[in-house]
Chain A
């Protein structure tokens, strides 16, 4: 297997982008990544595009050729594959792109993700997102997507004493970080009181415990390290890329206080990279709900099981804490166009490792991690990146 580097990144602003079409979002992110890499379009060998449900959100499937056409690469007839794993679609695109370069099959590969979620009414978005859960055995009975994470939250609170204030402190931290990110959907700082006063969506989760519905796209360019040296001297290498799956339904799992797929993907990634949780300088984790970040930092081994709530309240994961988590603002504040999220996480880690994160730069960041989850934990992708 060859070592793989990221030679370019690009993303759109995230938010309610009513003036931009799905196609324009794909184009904008892709062009930015290509410009950042300094490559010519004709050097691209293949593309992997993550998307959860462009079919239901904008009535457009068959996203591969759409991306090829947008990039003007139809004469080269390059293969472009759309991959789907609900909210982990972007992470899977990265994983597939990594495999294709590492294996020697392709040299220059574009990995991306896009979702345009705000063209449908709120109720339809809820319904489309419910397709990431088990339609026949969860959604049919009235379980919503926030409802499934709420079940995990109730369970975690009962077992470990996690409090609503600790859940809220995740949102407060991520909004603070997002306030420094020009690409973020919400650049407004919030307080614990704001979260607790916002309406309940699924007890104990309030509206401000939930990530928003968003439009956006993100892309990155991968190349073997040897080839990458031709394009950039700020090399960021993918040290490990691991993906794991579990049951589609939450009720089918062996436990409800953790995401076993995320634990498994993290273990594989740490082993492959030859590092442990203590070696990670910063992480972008899948905070689709505040409880999800608390469980994520436990699953990744940053804190002991059950300590996610108090650790967040104590500031361990804040911008200047021991292990900064979601410096970009996370899904919560940066926004969560589901298919784009995994690649947007990669964008943040690469920015940080290059030392280009501006106001929110983590000092001397050498190793960064992304943690991208699909559904209630049916899919998880963990990637570890390092400066070389």
Chain B
């Protein structure tokens, strides 16, 4: 489903967790935004790239047991709402642990993995997943 052009366009954000920071109020956004909802027109043209540290906390999670076609054969897998230490939220998989050990409040860190493979195009799509943070 992922078009090739779209995939290439998003490589920097997906590989490096690059969001945006509003240079007016200092709020950090990920995924990146063109306008800050706090500052609106004042923020136009003043959103700067900002690289997240990659650490955060699980705010909620679920185990996907009926996957979409692109994830056929990969289930069950965990999807979480993660609050990054910079304050923004994102959606990602939690890997490298027992699914039963995932809990709200768990500290996680980003790792870079294969997300999807497109059999027809023979393409692999990479991006961030999360694992339990080292203490």
Contact = CB atoms under 8 A, between A and B. Distances in A.
Given A137-B31, A141-B93, A130 B66 contact: no
Point out which of B2, B61, B64, B74 has the most chain A C-beta atoms below 10 A from its C-beta.
B64
Q: Interface residue tally of chain B, by bracket?
A: 35 or more
Interface in B93-132: 93, 104, 115-116, 125, 127, 129
B81 A256 contact: yes
A148 B80 CA distance: 9
Given A137-B91, A158-B104, A124 B65 contact: no
Contacts of B2: 140
A85 interface: no
B124 to A, nearest CB: 13
B50 interface: no
A223 interface: no
Given A202-B63, A203-B65, A250 B91 contact: yes
Interface in A192-226: 199-205
Given A136-B6, A141-B92, A151 B68 contact: no
Contacts of A256: 59-60, 81
Contact of B68 (A123, A137, A155, A251): A123
Contacts of A202: 62-66, 79
Given A127-B68, A130-B68, A141-B115, A151 B90 contact: no
Contacts of A205: 62
Contacts of A136: 6, 10, 31
Interface string B65-92: 1111111101001011100000001111
Nearest to B58: A154
Which of the four size classes fits the interface of chain A?
35 or more
Interface string A136-170: 11111111101100111111001000000000000
A147 B70 CA distance: 15
Contacts of B67: 142, 144
A155 B81 contact: yes
B4 interface: no
Contacts of B92: 141
A146 B68 CA distance: 11
A135 interface: yes
B81 A250 contact: yes
A59 interface: no
A138 B1 CA distance: 13
B1 A127 contact: yes
Contact of A127 (B69, B89, B127, B129): B69
Interface string A86-123: 00000000000000000000000000000000000001
A249 interface: yes
A151 B115 contact: no
A252 B88 CA distance: 8
Nearest to B99: A203
Most chain-A CB neighbours within 10 Å: which of B6, B70, B127?
A: B70
Interface in A4-45: none
Nearest to A257: B60
Given A142-B74, A147-B79, A201 B66 contact: yes
A151 B79 CA distance: 8
Contacts of B60: 151-152, 154-155, 158, 256
24 contacts: A123-B69, A126-B69, A127-B68, A130-B68, A135-B1, A139-B68, A141-B127, A141-B129, A142-B68, A142-B71, A143-B64, A146-B66, A151-B61, A151-B79, A154-B62, A155-B59, A158-B104, A199-B65, A202-B63, A203-B62, A249-B91, A250-B81, A250-B91, A251-B91
Given A141-B115, A142-B71, A151-B81, 18 more contacts: A130-B68, A137-B91, A140-B127, A141-B129, A142-B64, A142-B74, A147-B79, A151-B79, A154-B60, A154-B62, A155-B59, A155-B60, A202-B62, A202-B63, A202-B65, A250-B91, A251-B81, A251-B91
